[in-house]
Structure 1
Amino acid sequence: MPVKKLKTFLDEKNVKYVSIKHSSAYTAQEIASSVHVSGKEFAKTVIIKIGEKMAMAVLPASYQVDFKLLSEVFGSKNVTLASEAEFKYHFPDCEVGAMPPFGHLYDMEVYVAEVFRGNNYIAFNAGSHTEIIRMAYEDFERLAEPKILKFSWKTVSLPRDPSERWEEDL
């Protein structure tokens, strides 16, 4: 059961959270939509490499990592997306691609997109493609102790029909 380690940690810290089970979904936008959470509140955890060191980049489902910004922040041209083959063994209790954004549970640093700071809540995969955790953002920041950075930009959803309005957020 992938979510056990995370729930045990949250329970030990007396954090209030909601666990939401959903049908299998793999993209952050798909999960956010299926559980009725905004794309700005649902966090996706992207594993990046800074040189040879792996870290978590946590950003809203409706955003993309800007590797140029990350390279500037870290003063390195060698900031890239880690491949599944490179990171899957770091998360033995998680389904690949469903890692929760608590890097200290996996000996990784966590970098969080500054846009989350305006949120009351954060939701994220709980180690599986069928369950998420939703909790107060303030509690997440206190427990995860992430470094808050500007490294992402919002994706734009084009209307399917020209008469439709542009979506601001999911």
Structure 2
Amino acid sequence: MPAKKLKDFLESRGAKYVSIQHSPAFTASEIAASAHVTGRDFAKTVVVKMGDDLAMVVLPANRKIMLSELRDMIDEDIDLATEDEFQERFPDCELGAMPPFGNLYGLPVYVERSLADEQEIAFSAGTHHEIILMAFDDYADLVQPTVMEFATA
């Protein structure tokens, strides 16, 4: 079952999505392969520190975040957050399986442009054995992320 907060939010907004169960997997590329989703459509969620605050960075599983690019664009000191720094922020999610809905957890969301160019987005649903697949435009309407280019192949 997806994270309760996510499921309640999607259902309250009448969002169209497909829930896909898969064998337990822990890295974005493993999850994408297990669920038969391309790496460019599967979104990995990375939590970063921006000064004293946290933010969510979302990029395709087959790309790597370029923190220096993101720092330059946002003009803020950015570092990867440790699990200890963010795990209590996501009480209904398994560690490392946070859905890219920072708006549900009080975090701004930055999405890599190449992901925004895809028709669909797939992402962990709060567990290591389920993903959600939905239209990217629907995701963007629900989350209102900032779209930028900050990843490399």
Report sequence identity in percent: 50
Task: Show the counterpart of 2:129.
Answer: 130
Unaligned 5+ runs, structure 1:
155-170
Q: Do the aligned partners of 1:93 and 1:127 also contact (CA within 8 Å) in 2? A: yes
With normalisation by structure 2, the TM-score equals 0.97
Task: Show the counterpart of 1:42.
Answer: 42
CA distance in 2, matches of 1:93, 1:62: 26
Q: Do the aligned partners of 2:67 and 2:78 also contact (CA within 8 Å) in 1? A: yes
Q: Do the aligned partners of 1:45 and 1:59 also contact (CA within 8 Å) in 2? A: yes
Q: Do the aligned partners of 1:2 and 1:95 also contact (CA within 8 Å) in 2? A: no
Task: Show the counterpart of 1:23.
Answer: 23
CA distance in 1, matches of 2:74, 2:17: 33
What pairs up with 1:1-170 in 2 under 5 angstroms? 3-76=3-76, 78-154=77-153
- Note the C-alpha offset of 1:3: 2.1
Q: Do the aligned partners of 1:103 and 1:110 also contact (CA within 8 Å) in 2? A: yes
Unaligned 5+ runs, structure 2:
none
CA distance in 2, matches of 1:6, 1:75: 31
- Note the C-alpha offset of 1:71: 1.1
With normalisation by structure 1, the TM-score equals 0.87
Question: What is the total number of aligned residue pairs between the two structures?
Answer: 153
SS of residue in 1 equivalent to 2:15? coil
Which aligned runs of 4 or more in structure 1 are off by greater than 4 angstroms?
A: none
Question: What letter is aligned with 2:67?
Answer: F
CA distance in 2, matches of 1:110, 1:34: 26
CA distance in 1, matches of 2:105, 2:9: 12
Q: Do the aligned partners of 1:29 and 1:62 also contact (CA within 8 Å) in 2? A: yes
The two structures, once aligned, show a CA RMSD in angstroms of 1.0
CA distance in 2, matches of 1:2, 1:134: 12
SS of residue in 2 equivalent to 1:62? coil
- Note the C-alpha offset of 1:2: 5.1
Q: Deviations over 1:48-101 (max 9, x none)?
A: 11111100000000011101101101213x210000010001000000110000
Question: What letter is aligned with 1:65?
Answer: I
The structure with the larger Rg is 1
